[in-house]
Structure 1
Amino acid sequence: MREATILHQIEEIYYPVLTAVGIPVNLMAIVILSRGKCGLSRCITLYLVAMATADMMVIFTDVLLYTIIPFYFPGTYMDTTPAISFILVLLSAATDVSVWFTITFTFDRFVAICCQKLRTKYCTVETATVVLTVVSVVLSLKNIPLYFIYEPEYIVDNVPWGVKISSSFLTESAWVAFDCLSIILTPFLPFFLILLLNALTVRHILVAGRIRRRLQQCNNNEDHHDPEMEKRRKSIILLFTISGSFILLWMTNVLYFMYWRTANVYDFMGVHDPNYIAEQTGYMLQLLSSCTNTCIYVVTQTRFREQLRDALIYPFTAVVAWFRSSTDYVRATIPVQSQVPPDDINFD
């Protein structure tokens, strides 16, 4: 039994709460966004729904299946080597898809804001569907080989239990190349692309803003309200909050990953080892990023808040409406009894 450190006590509360909040929150976001009443274009809505779905899968596989169930229900089939290997493939694929869906959304907004000629062709529902489908299929296929890098920790009655990385994964050139490709795809390339695309978007916004202000001054336009800039502002706020949240919550994991690779830290000195604490903290923050997008929608999107409020109060309004309709029905079915005049009342 592992030593009950402060970090482990936090984890025992953190992961169940993350599951109890993350899955319903992402599911609520999927339902609300899918209705198409949030004032967003169909293209943006499709990306946001895909991101919420991927985030929910990350919590389901990484937190619920891989962390919570084995911890609270040890010794079940979930602890066998085939089950753990399969779950590791699923959670790795879900993480990759979630990260790259954020990249595709960021690139779509970059094209919409900075590439006016390409916008009409690229920023469409059809293109978004193709891009999301290709990303999902390619990254899912990419993670299938992970199933074969693990071997049992021990075997009891011909049943393999636990997993450990096979020695061939660390020595054979094919596995080393696969590992390098995985590292590049997640998290280094996404981190670089988000920073690059956001920097280019900011540069374009600043230049375009100065040009439009000069044109307004030349036209002596007293009304400085610009509908186009207002529309862009809302799209930019949504883009930057999602990208910024991703960067901040993945920062610790990425920095530790770079340190781990350069310093060749493969073993920990114990649960109090700073390397172990940094790794687990980065892991928890990374998983938290799967729950933040819905909060971002609530803060930045007025119509999303309205739809969320209506969804939350709907059970109460439905009960009230049912109670009223039932009361009206009862009143309509009970016959009204004729009253006897007071003079005809018999007191005997």
Structure 2
Amino acid sequence: MHEPVTGQVYAIYYPILAAIGIPVNILAIVILNRRNCGLSKCITHYLVSMAAADLMVVITCVVFNRIIDTYFPGNYMLLTPACRARTVLVYATRDISVWLTVAFTFDRFISICCQQLKTTYCTKKVAAAIVGTVFTLSCLKNIPWYFVYDSLYIFNKLPWYCLITPNFYISPFWLAYSYFDCIATPFLPFFIILLLNALTVRYILVASRVRRVLRGSAGSDNNPDPEMVNRRKSFILLFSISGNFLILWLTYTIHYLYYRITDTYSYTGYNDPVYILQETAYMLLLLSCCTNTFIYTVTQTQFRAELTKMVMYPVNQIVSFLTHLKSWIG
């Protein structure tokens, strides 16, 4: 029997995603930690934390949960205890990545729209506390997933694979936990990010009109407004990151609503449209953990310059070595 085309697509897609996602997130962490991008310590702390969270998502969700299962069937990661622990890590890293995006969006909202709170809230100390809280709560929230699964069978006295217990679909506790999990990620983040972006856009439009009137009356309308330029740059970064999240998580949200409303928990095969929708949703969801570095490159001039220097450094070293080698031989 030939492998379905969709299966081939998934088998190719995830290794490419890992090959791109791991180095770009490491690059983002290194470049941002050098603090030469003209960003505040607060923003830098959030962006570094987000890159680290995205790196964890790529490692746990793409490498451990997708690539290993596809290319190494029967490996010891499929033992039931390892499978359970891996599930907890997948959900926890996903939540950390999502809620750090929410935290960053809220921080930029305060910075742009709430000038009185900016000096006390938009600091590295507050950012570190929020990142630590998000990490801790995300890990604690997802511990129950470890107890959702039983082994599929016992072989050589070892439990293999993870099978959802039937009690998960009928127990009031597990039903409540399942709904809470989905509300917490991604519905609540969706709502918060949309609301904060809408409020930020409204504030910028109103503030821009007011400042144009004031500067126009002072006869300085031909000069650029430094305050509005800074707000515009901050909003472009904010909207690019949060908009990327909303777009790439939209398919997952649609799929979740569909299977909950229709009670569709099984599929007829690889060509089932619902199965294709589900896997497409996962592909886009995981893609969101590889795109922030490209967003920084497009929207941040100094980040782009630092990236260029880092990429060109080994090339320049090789050229310098070959030049010295040629002169030494000659």
In 2, the alpha carbon distance for the partners of 1:237 and 1:134 equals: 27
Asked if the contact 2:11–2:70 (Cα under 8 Å) also holds between the matched residues in 1, the reply is: no
In 1, the alpha carbon distance for the partners of 2:128 and 2:329 equals: 51
Q: Name the counterpart of 2:280.
A: 281
SS in 1 for 2:222: coil
Q: CA deviation at 1:6?
A: 2.2
Q: CA deviation at 1:17?
A: 0.3
Q: Name the counterpart of 1:33.
A: 32
Q: CA deviation at 1:223?
A: 2.9
CA deviation profile, 1:113-149 (whole Å, cap 9, x unmatched) = 0001111100000000000001100111111111111
In 1, the alpha carbon distance for the partners of 2:141 and 2:203 equals: 35
Q: CA deviation at 1:254?
A: 0.5
In 2, the alpha carbon distance for the partners of 1:321 and 1:43 equals: 38
Q: CA deviation at 1:181?
A: 1.3
Amino acid paired to 2:280: T
CA deviation profile, 1:175-218 (whole Å, cap 9, x unmatched) = 22221211111010001111000000001011101100110122
Q: Name the counterpart of 1:312.
A: 311
In 2, the alpha carbon distance for the partners of 1:295 and 1:183 equals: 28
Amino acid paired to 1:5: P
Q: CA deviation at 1:5?
A: 2.0
Amino acid paired to 2:54: D
Amino acid paired to 1:110: F
In 2, the alpha carbon distance for the partners of 1:39 and 1:59 equals: 28
In 1, the alpha carbon distance for the partners of 2:269 and 2:221 equals: 68
SS in 1 for 2:102: helix
In our comparison, the structure showing a higher alpha carbon Rg is 1
In 2, the alpha carbon distance for the partners of 1:312 and 1:221 equals: 42
Q: CA deviation at 1:300?
A: 0.5
Can you give the 5+ residue segments of structure 1 that lack an aligned partner in the other structure? 332-348
Q: CA deviation at 1:275?
A: 0.6
Amino acid paired to 1:61: T
Asked if the contact 1:102–1:243 (Cα under 8 Å) also holds between the matched residues in 2, the reply is: yes
Q: Name the counterpart of 2:122.
A: 123
CA deviation profile, 1:271-310 (whole Å, cap 9, x unmatched) = 1111111111111011100011011011111111111110
Percent of paired sites with the same residue: 50
In 2, the alpha carbon distance for the partners of 1:112 and 1:188 equals: 24
Amino acid paired to 2:105: T
Asked if the contact 1:3–1:271 (Cα under 8 Å) also holds between the matched residues in 2, the reply is: no
Q: Name the counterpart of 2:217.
A: 218
Q: Name the counterpart of 2:181.
A: 182
In 1, the alpha carbon distance for the partners of 2:17 and 2:70 equals: 15
Q: CA deviation at 1:224?
A: 3.1
Q: Name the counterpart of 1:164.
A: 163
Assess, with a 3 A threshold, how the Cα gap between structure 1 residues 3 and 205 changes in structure 2: closer, same or farther. Answer: farther
Q: Name the counterpart of 1:336.
A: none
Asked if the contact 2:60–2:86 (Cα under 8 Å) also holds between the matched residues in 1, the reply is: yes
In 1, the alpha carbon distance for the partners of 2:34 and 2:326 equals: 32
SS in 2 for 1:177: helix
**TM-score w.r.t. length of structure 1:** 0.91
Q: Name the counterpart of 1:102.
A: 101
Asked if the contact 1:97–1:136 (Cα under 8 Å) also holds between the matched residues in 2, the reply is: yes
Q: CA RMSD in A?
A: 1.6
Q: CA deviation at 1:329?
A: 8.5
Asked if the contact 1:93–1:139 (Cα under 8 Å) also holds between the matched residues in 2, the reply is: yes
Question: Comparing 22-31 with 214-223, which one deviates more in the overlay?
Answer: 214-223
